[in-house]
Amino acid sequence: MERVLERKLVVAQDGSGNFSRVQDAIDSVPLSNRDRIVIEVLPGVYRQPVYVPQTKNMITLRGFCAEDTILTWNNTATHIEHHQASRVIGTGTFGCGTMIIEGEDFIAEGITFENASPQGSGQAVAIRVTADRCAFYNCRFLGWQDTAYLHYGKHYLRDCYIEGSVDFIFGNATALLEHCHIYCKSQGFITAQSRKSAEESTGYVFLRCIITGNGGNSYMHLGRPWAPFGRVVFAHTWMDACIKPEGWNNWNKPENERSACFYEYRCSGPGSDPSKRADWARQLMDDEAAYFVAHCFVDPDQQRPWLSSKLSVKMPLSA
């Protein structure tokens, strides 16, 4: 059996580590890496876009406290300044992320990913994840519109904080967000999931999360379908009064009401009243919810699992 090695690198702005920039540490990871490499990021505000290419796998980015370890930049869909060319990272919303992850088996712990563009800047992504088997623990994702682009792959987020206003959790990944705090900064839509057909297994599940607002009432939708078969589930989630009574929006396309899969299950709080929900959204029965409220939603192959229980927390086996 091949011996698994773990290599540790340290990023510190004061020069006390191996590198002073996060990108330099990522660039040092060998191509097609097969051993877990931990990059410890010491407290500080790192003003730089960061890119993890497809050729850099098995990276753990570890901060000591998300409030003190911040990766921030201010690209928008219409204005991108990046050390990588557009042919590499893409253009528009796809290319404007402060953090862009394309390497598989990525883990982040205790890091803030921020797009510092002000309100009204349009699409301004804090993180784009286009990779399989990625996990985030105790991280913060800060922005206004399009904060977290969960684009592709299987993703697991636990004990994270995500804020925004318009479509601030979006894409077509298969994602389970557990024990996360969703903060609605101003009117808009929490999710914009883009499942394109009934055959796709993608979707977002919010399990035992809390949704809070700015003190106002009825200004936020739970989601709208970016593609006709968008699929989102809120289960055992507490909802603030900021959630509109109807809950869901069809993106001004009535035909989406026949295909979008917008579900809730045993939610609570002043914004969770099922009697006032849009009649094309559904409250799940116990047997229907079972598939969504288990970790197998993002880890379906139990013969080759990528998550395992460690100290009662699901962690990637590769960690």
Task: Kindly report each contact of residues 288-293 with a partner whose C-beta sits within 8 Å and lies 24 or more positions away, as own/partner.
Answer: 288/263, 289/233, 289/235, 289/263, 289/265, 292/205, 292/207, 292/233, 292/235, 292/263, 292/265, 293/205, 293/207, 293/235, 293/236, 293/265
Q: Say whether 132 is catalytic.
A: no
Q: Are 39 and 64 in contact (CB under 8 A)?
A: no
105, 146, 167, 240: the active-site residue: 167
| Contacts of 260-263 spanning 24+ positions with Cβ under 8 A | 260/225, 260/228, 260/229, 260/230, 260/231, 261/195, 261/203, 261/229, 261/230, 261/231, 261/232, 262/222, 262/223, 262/225, 262/230, 262/231, 262/232, 263/231, 263/232, 263/233, 263/234, 263/288, 263/289, 263/292
CA dihedral (214, 217, 219, 222) positive or negative: positive
Residues labelled as active-site residues: 167
